[in-house]
Amino acid sequence: MSDRPVVVLGADGFLGWPTALHLSAHGHQVIAVDNLVRRRWDRECGTSSLAPIASMPQRVRAWKRTSGRDIEWRRLDVCDARAMSALIAEFRPSAIVHFAEQRSAPFSMIDREHAVMTQLRNVEGTLNLLFALRDLAPDCHLVKLGTMGEYGTPNIDIEEGFITIEHNGRRDTLPYPKRPGSFYHLSKVHDSNNMEFTSRIWGIRATDLNQGVVYGCETDETALHPTLATRFDYDVIWGTVLNRFCVQAALGQPLTVYGRGGQTRGFLDIRDTVECIRISIENPASRGQYRVFNQFTEQFSVKGLAELVSQARDAHGLSTTIKHISNPRVELEEHYYNAKHQHLIDLGLQPHLLRRTLIDSVIQTVERHRKRVDLVALQKPNVDWRSGGGRAAADRQVTVA
Amino acid sequence: MSDRPVVVLGADGFLGWPTALHLSAHGHQVIAVDNLVRRRWDRECGTSSLAPIASMPQRVRAWKRTSGRDIEWRRLDVCDARAMSALIAEFRPSAIVHFAEQRSAPFSMIDREHAVMTQLRNVEGTLNLLFALRDLAPDCHLVKLGTMGEYGTPNIDIEEGFITIEHNGRRDTLPYPKRPGSFYHLSKVHDSNNMEFTSRIWGIRATDLNQGVVYGCETDETALHPTLATRFDYDVIWGTVLNRFCVQAALGQPLTVYGRGGQTRGFLDIRDTVECIRISIENPASRGQYRVFNQFTEQFSVKGLAELVSQARDAHGLSTTIKHISNPRVELEEHYYNAKHQHLIDLGLQPHLLRRTLIDSVIQTVERHRKRVDLVALQKPNVDWRSGGGRAAADRQVTVA
């Protein structure tokens, strides 16, 4: 293991915080960085984490008390190029994990302001980072969170970042064609293209983790103390689908499926997210290598997930209904989907496959915080892909830093 | 022909101005729009057009005197979303031609500031336009300038925007994989992805013109009067390669070829550029169609072009030398290159192929303005793809509007 630290950008987020803890637990010296804008977006959208979340200083102190380990906390915006460069110059990290982007598809679809803000700030932050690496830490390994949503739903197998194409009697291995489904997903495609380029011309070491939809709310480390909990989103802007189903099930509400529900995606347990990051860091890309790992463990359709939740409730003698509502997104509702995800397995990932016990445990977490559920947030109108809108649009305020 | 006007964004530029004239000459009602930032970038970079260029009001008056036709001139920035929307609402154009982007690869490679500015402003302008079309002119046809440089130099044939891939026994037609060669070229890839998405979800009519390298300096319309001339760039930031060779030849200097000179690209005459735009407008994309035309007429290697210029001088008994200098760019110097360019031909384009007479005429233009050649600008160090730099970086000023 390198004796240089690992910087985690976006360390206040749903996955950034558990990643910071997991890396620290495994002996990495961790610098946790965030601009805290996610908490302000909650206020803007009228959303909040179901589980109460502590401030970053509180979290870091709780981790020290619990584990005896130090995490250094820095408040910093990746779009502040000068501060970013100073950070890299100060720590000369061996690796940087980059979660510090606006990561909600519905948020990016609210209106022009949210689309522009999502794309410009996500692209700018990553560009700042790439230039800082070129100039100050050319050997540092960039581990960047992409998304499986970059690929869309092609009618051929999805490979990991690149595909070998035979065409008119010739052959080349080229970046996998992308057809993403929101301005947010597009921002990740822009980042991927910028990263591939800078690996090629500057020799940047880069791993692009095209992550699937994450479920679950606890890792070994966040479970150690309530102050270490990470956020749990269940609203239509920030919540991921299985977590939202679990909240609906806990409240005895119908599970709401968009359209026919045949939309199929890659999914993974939050405990696998943090392991994938650790594995990527401990098996770095080489100089000039831009590699892509598809970071998920199983494929499910939305309707299939709803049925799993319903079956988990049945096992406790509880009945759940599934309600198909009109799809606010523009997407295929029945389609071929076969995405490869071998690279991380080859590096040692041992997946936590989705079991009824996980669904039970998420529902138990919801029940613990039942009084905090905002029924309005749970039921509010979705952002429509065609016309925008949604509660967040009401005040047309876009917080950018 | 529609009775609604055509808006030309970037109408003060090298190609925007001849396009505005050409469309007007063919009976279109033209609204010419620009924020004039290109003239300020000249001051920033210490560059200038070889041919003197008049102000936009002077040009528009000269066109009225020469042709009897009106072009309406508006100073406006595409990144000013409110002004853009007001413009679309006022004119409800049948088509918008979008040239209003930072279009120099070396400029984008100077440093972080220039890279970020190029990508953010190019992406933002196009997003503003797409939202304005969705909300105010859903039937308007967007004709957007892309670049052949989006594709890079793959080892398979380059198709026009999309490629049918057979993979593991299945088949799909997907966006052609892109591997561009500069932050500028990447900005056009980002735009292409955003456009494909908005055609898919909002039904935008869009034509993406992946243009090759343009040579020549006159069209039928700009040649009518000196006040109608368009800019002629010959420096390493803004000049295109054949025009630069002609300036070097006129001055009796060696033609400087980057590296081995086997870099092959698609090229076209400026007179074909304006025709391609006219043809695209008069054969619009349908609702929800995102189509890509590769807009060039012939392929040449850089070395091959230098040899053509040298042969044109030989014919007048003048000797020219070709000098290979170290390549400031990171690119393959020998590679396969076979790009399709059939769609515009099918719609009626009659190419002006490169002939000695064109080279002679460009050299004559240079000789007419010989006293205006800035030898320092011609010979100044190139922007290096690995480390940035160049004269423009000296003051680190980036004008953004």
Position A112 scores a pLDDT of: 98
Selected for mutation to probe chain A from B108, B110, B112, B160 (highest A CB count within 10 Å) is B112
Tokens of B66: 């020469």
Give me the mean pLDDT over the B309-325 stretch. Answer: 95
Q: In this structure, what are the phi and psi dihedrals at residue A215, rounded to the nearest 5 degrees? A: -125, 170
Q: pLDDT tens digits for A341-351?
A: 999 999 999 99
C-alpha distances out from residue B221 to A234, B60, B153, B228, B246, Å: 61, 12, 35, 8, 22
- Active-site residue (options: A184, A215, A258, A290): A184
Contact A330 B200 (CB under 8 A): yes
Tokens of A349: 């990932």
Classified as helix, coil or strand, A39 is: helix
User: What's the sign of the alpha-carbon dihedral A151, A156, A160, A166?
Assistant: negative
Contact A165 B180 (CB under 8 A): no
Position A71 scores a pLDDT of: 98
pLDDT > 70? residue B321: yes
In sequence order, the 6+-apart residues with CB closer than 8 A to the CB of A215 are A240, A241, A242, A243, A267, A268, A269, A270, A354, A358, A362
Q: pLDDT tens digits for B217-249?
A: 999 999 999 999 999 999 999 999 999 999 999
Position B396 scores a pLDDT of: 45
- Minimal-distance CA residue of chain A relative to B188: A190
**CB-CB contact of B256 with B327 (8 Å):** no
Q: What is the dihedral of CA A93, A98, A100, A104, to 10 degrees?
A: -170
Number of Cβ pairs < 8 A linking chain A and chain B:
146
User: What's the sign of the alpha-carbon dihedral B366, B369, B370, B374?
Assistant: negative
Q: Structural domain boundaries of chain A?
A: 6-383
pLDDT > 70? residue A391: no
In sequence order, the 6+-apart residues with CB closer than 8 A to the CB of B90 are none
Q: pLDDT tens digits for A179-193?
A: 999 999 999 999 999
Give me the mean pLDDT over the A77-104 stretch. Answer: 98
Position B399 scores a pLDDT of: 58
- Nearest C-alpha of chain A: how many angstroms from B170? 6
Contact B112 A124 (CB under 8 A): no
In sequence order, the 6+-apart residues with CB closer than 8 A to the CB of A149 are A105, A180, A181, A182, A184, A185, A188, A265
CA–CA distance, A372 with A365 (Å, rounded to integer): 12
Contact B123 A123 (CB under 8 A): yes
Position B382 scores a pLDDT of: 86
Position B3 scores a pLDDT of: 85
Tokens of A364: 């138990």
For residue A382, name the pLDDT band (cuts at 50, 70, 90).
Answer: confident
Give me the mean pLDDT over the B95-110 stretch. Answer: 97
pLDDT > 80? residue A380: no
**B167 contacts in chain A (CB < 8 Å):** 156-157, 163, 165
**B170 contacts in chain A (CB < 8 Å):** 155-157, 336
Contact A163 B165 (CB under 8 A): yes
Q: Mean pLDDT, chain A, as a whole number?
A: 95
Give me the mean pLDDT over the B254-268 stretch. Answer: 96
- Minimal-distance CA residue of chain B relative to A172: B155
Position A390 scores a pLDDT of: 62
For residue A397, name the pLDDT band (cuts at 50, 70, 90).
Answer: low
- Minimal-distance CA residue of chain B relative to A132: B112
- Nearest C-alpha of chain A: how many angstroms from B309? 31
Contact A180 B193 (CB under 8 A): yes
Partner residue facing A155 (CB), from B127, B171, B194:
B171
Position A379 scores a pLDDT of: 74
Position A330 scores a pLDDT of: 95
For residue A400, name the pLDDT band (cuts at 50, 70, 90).
Answer: low
**CB-CB contact of A354 with A267 (8 Å):** yes
Q: What is the ipTM of this complex?
A: 0.96
Work out whether strand A30-34 and strand A6-9 pair parallel, antiparallel, or are unpaired.
Answer: parallel
In sequence order, the 6+-apart residues with CB closer than 8 A to the CB of B3 are B29
Percentage with pLDDT > 90 across chain A: 93
Q: pLDDT tens digits for A13-35?
A: 999 999 999 999 999 999 999 99
Position B394 scores a pLDDT of: 41
pLDDT > 90? residue B306: yes
Position A396 scores a pLDDT of: 45
pLDDT > 50? residue B393: no
Give me the mean pLDDT over the A330-343 stretch. Answer: 97
Tell me which amino acid residue B354 is: L
Which region, left, alpha or beta, applies to residue B178 given φ > 0 means left and ψ of -120 to 50 means alpha? beta
Selected for mutation to probe chain A from B82, B85, B116 (highest A CB count within 10 Å) is B116
Partner residue facing A201 (CB), from B163, B176, B330:
B330
Position B88 scores a pLDDT of: 98
Contact A183 B197 (CB under 8 A): yes
Position B377 scores a pLDDT of: 77
- Active-site residue (options: B184, B215, B258, B337): B184
- Minimal-distance CA residue of chain A relative to B130: A112
Q: pLDDT tens digits for A129-145?
A: 999 999 999 999 999 99
- Nearest C-alpha of chain A: how many angstroms from B30? 27
Clarify whether B126 is annotated catalytic: no
Tokens of B104: 């120099």
Q: DSSP for A206-243? A: EEEEEE-EEE-S--TTGGG-GGGPPP---STTT--HHH
Count of beta carbons in the 10 Å neighbourhood of residue A401:
11
- Nearest C-alpha of chain A: how many angstroms from B167? 6
Work out whether strand B170-175 and strand B162-167 pair parallel, antiparallel, or are unpaired.
Answer: antiparallel
**B146 contacts in chain A (CB < 8 Å):** none
**CB-CB contact of A204 with A288 (8 Å):** yes
Q: DSSP for B42-111? A: HHHHT---SS----HHHHHHHHHHHHS--EEEEE--TT-HHHHHHHHHHH--SEEEE--S---HHHHTS-
**B168 contacts in chain A (CB < 8 Å):** 156-157
Alpha helices in A36-111 (DSSP H): 37-45, 56-67, 81-91, 105-108
For residue B392, name the pLDDT band (cuts at 50, 70, 90).
Answer: very low
* Statement: the pTM of the whole predicted model exceeds 0.95: yes
Q: In this structure, what are the phi and psi dihedrals at residue B302, rounded to the nearest 5 degrees? A: -60, -40
For residue B400, name the pLDDT band (cuts at 50, 70, 90).
Answer: low
- Among A321-325, B157-161, B386-390, the range scoring the smallest mean pLDDT is B386-390
For residue B386, name the pLDDT band (cuts at 50, 70, 90).
Answer: very high
For residue A393, name the pLDDT band (cuts at 50, 70, 90).
Answer: very low
Q: pLDDT tens digits for B329-380?
A: 999 999 999 999 999 999 999 999 999 999 999 999 999 999 999 988 787 7
C-alpha distances out from residue B389 to A341, B99, B175, B384, Å: 41, 26, 34, 6
Q: Mean pLDDT, chain B, as a whole number?
A: 95
Clarify whether B184 is annotated catalytic: yes
Out of 3.10.20.30, 3.40.50.2020, 3.40.50.720, 3.30.300.30, which CATH number does the structure's domain A6-383 have?
A: 3.40.50.720
Give me the mean pLDDT over the B46-52 stretch. Answer: 94
For residue B389, name the pLDDT band (cuts at 50, 70, 90).
Answer: confident
- Active-site residue (options: A188, A256, A258, A264): A188
Position B395 scores a pLDDT of: 44
**CB-CB contact of A309 with A242 (8 Å):** yes
Clarify whether A240 is annotated catalytic: no
